[in-house]
């Protein structure tokens, strides 16, 4: 038996592509299944930390909340965030979600983009960062998230996905200016957050969805022209503070992993096993030892549609493929969806603890 590690040690060992005492575990879920899991463990709906501990989650996040002035007017029936992105609540048979809508910069020209109100890095509360880091000192603390550095999705939320792809293909100055204004703010906020933590942040998390289920969303040439150089600034920032970097990439995205390795990424997240060239075996055979992996447990697979026995079998099979040599963190491919039976999610995490030990 290996020495029992702290969550921080376990995650950092794994991101270095070495074997820890057990596979690190992470959790993300939609509100419906999150509430049901808290009820299952006898927790109050607001007791998120209690649920993290009940599931054995090794990761925690820290960020500086926005405390600046209101930048965009309210819109009836909409939620409007600090970037001016509009969402509306959509109900479905097993829960609901916030859907992007209206797309206020869909037809904006360069002048309109330049005038669009954006948050200032001065208007975030960095004083909160050391407090959170101290509270979670035994865990692996990340800054950023799936939206940090993201270009296609985040710009698509305000210009439409179609227009963003056209922007990239045609070098549209309006679309590219929006991207660069937004990324400039995020890069500086991230730098100040890392500085405020005084060495207590353990990794950076960023993202860019690059594939459908069967193909890349863009060509490798277009990725290298517009996405890679902008992402490199975030990777370089992390490396200046000796932080490993995880990138979240949905869909068929392994076509970009050789570039990720060259850029200095340490791990890849999401890893939808149904997508082309994204199965655990394919990833381990082609990139094991050069990238660490986070994800692989499909939210559209047995966890949502199978039996408890099928969930356990899926977790065991994934672990058997991904564990040797280290470099694997078990997590759902996306937020666990509200159509996932509570007993299946509990079985997923029980199996991770039972079979994920080295």
| Domains of the chain in sequence order | 7-65+126-149+193-355 (3.20.20.210)
Q: pLDDT band at residue 95, thresholds of 50, 70 and 90?
A: confident
Q: What is the mean pLDDT of residues 273-299?
A: 98
CA 357 – CA 350 distance, rounded (Å): 12
Task: Quote the pLDDT of residue 18.
Answer: 97
User: Under 8 Å CB-to-CB from 90, ≥6 apart: which residues?
Assistant: 96, 97, 98, 99
Residues in the chain: 358
Per-residue tokens: 70? 């209101």
Q: pLDDT band at residue 117, thresholds of 50, 70 and 90?
A: very high
User: Under 8 Å CB-to-CB from 347, ≥6 apart: which residues?
Assistant: 308, 311, 312, 315
CA 259 – CA 231 distance, rounded (Å): 11
Q: pLDDT band at residue 195, thresholds of 50, 70 and 90?
A: very high
Q: pLDDT > 70: what percent of the chain?
A: 100
Q: How far is CA 139 from CA 143, 202, 335, in A?
A: 13, 9, 20
3-state secondary structure of 183: helix
pLDDT exceeds cutoff 80 at 47: yes
Torsion, CA 210, CA 11, CA 341, CA 89, rounded to 10: -50
Q: pLDDT > 90: what percent of the chain?
A: 97
Q: Cβ(69)–Cβ(76) under 8 Å?
A: no
The average confidence (pLDDT) of the chain is 97
User: Under 8 Å CB-to-CB from 255, ≥6 apart: which residues?
Assistant: 210, 211, 216, 220, 277
| Exposed e or buried b per residue across 77-91, where buried means at least 16 C-beta atoms within 10 angstroms of its C-beta | eeebebbbbbbeeee
Q: Look at the block and give the residue holding tokens 């929006």.
A: 178
CA 55 – CA 349 distance, rounded (Å): 6
Residue 1 CB neighbours (<10 A)? 6
What one-character DSSP code corresponds to residue 22?
B
pLDDT exceeds cutoff 90 at 96: no
Task: Quote the pLDDT of residue 242.
Answer: 98
Q: pLDDT band at residue 93, thresholds of 50, 70 and 90?
A: confident
Task: Quote the pLDDT of residue 289.
Answer: 97
Q: pLDDT band at residue 134, thresholds of 50, 70 and 90?
A: very high
3-state secondary structure of 247: strand
Angle between helix axes 280-287 and 308-322 (nearest 10 degrees) is: 10
User: Which of 286, 298, 294, 295 is closest to 255 using CA atoms?
Assistant: 286
| Strand locations in the chain (E) | 59-61, 79-80, 86-92, 95-101, 140-144, 203-207, 245-249, 267-270, 292-297, 328-332
pLDDT exceeds cutoff 80 at 286: yes
Task: Quote the pLDDT of residue 1.
Answer: 64
The Cα angle at residue 268 between residues 209 and 131, in degrees rounded to 5:
95
Q: State if pTM tops 0.85.
A: yes
Per DSSP, what are the bridge partners of residue 66? 124
pLDDT tens for each residue of 235-266: 999 999 999 999 999 999 999 999 999 999 99
Q: What is the mean pLDDT of residues 113-122?
A: 98
Strands 245-249 and 203-207: what pairing?
parallel
Q: pLDDT band at residue 92, thresholds of 50, 70 and 90?
A: confident
């Amino acid at each position: 038996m290996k020495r029992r590690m702290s969550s921080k040690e376990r995650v950092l060992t794994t991101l270095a592509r070495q074997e820890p005492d057990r596979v690190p575990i992470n959790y993300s879920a939609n509100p419906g299944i999150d509430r049901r899991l808290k009820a299952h463990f006898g927790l109050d709906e607001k007791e998120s930390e209690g649920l993290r501990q009940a599931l054995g989650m090794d990761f925690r996040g820290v960020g500086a909340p926005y405390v600046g002035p209101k930048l965009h007017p309210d819109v009836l029936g909409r939620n409007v965030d600090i970037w001016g992105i509009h969402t509306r609540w959509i109900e479905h048979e097993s829960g609901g979600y916030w859907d992007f809508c209206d797309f206020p910069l869909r037809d904006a020209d360069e002048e309109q983009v330049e005038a669009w109100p954006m948050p200032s890095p001065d208007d975030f509360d960095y004083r909160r960062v050391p407090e959170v880091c101290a509270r979670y000192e035994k865990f692996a603390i990340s800054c950023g998230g799936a939206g940090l550095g993201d270009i296609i999705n985040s710009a698509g939320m305000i210009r439409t996905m179609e227009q963003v792809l056209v922007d990239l293909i045609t070098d549209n100055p309006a679309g590219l200016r929006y991207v660069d204004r937004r990324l400039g703010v995020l890069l500086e906020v991230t730098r100040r957050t890392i500085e405020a933590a005084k060495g207590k942040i353990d990794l950076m998390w960023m993202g860019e969805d690059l594939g459908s289920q069967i193909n890349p969303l863009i060509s490798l040439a277009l990725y290298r022209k517009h996405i890679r150089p902008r992402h490199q600034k975030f990777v370089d920032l992390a490396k200046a503070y000796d932080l490993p970097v995880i990138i979240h990439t949905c869909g068929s995205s392994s076509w970009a992993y050789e570039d990720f390795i060259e850029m200095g990424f340490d791990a890849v997240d999401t890893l939808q096993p149904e997508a082309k060239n994204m199965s655990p075996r394919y990833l381990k055979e082609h990139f094991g030892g050069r990238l660490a992996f986070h994800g692989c447990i499909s939210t559209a697979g047995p966890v949502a549609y199978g039996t408890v026995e099928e969930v356990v079998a899926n977790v065991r099979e994934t672990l058997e493929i991904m564990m040797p040599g280290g470099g694997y963190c078990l997590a759902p491919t996306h937020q666990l969806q509200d159509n996932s039976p509570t007993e299946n999610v509990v079985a997923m995490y029980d199996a991770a603890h039972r079979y994920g030990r080295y």
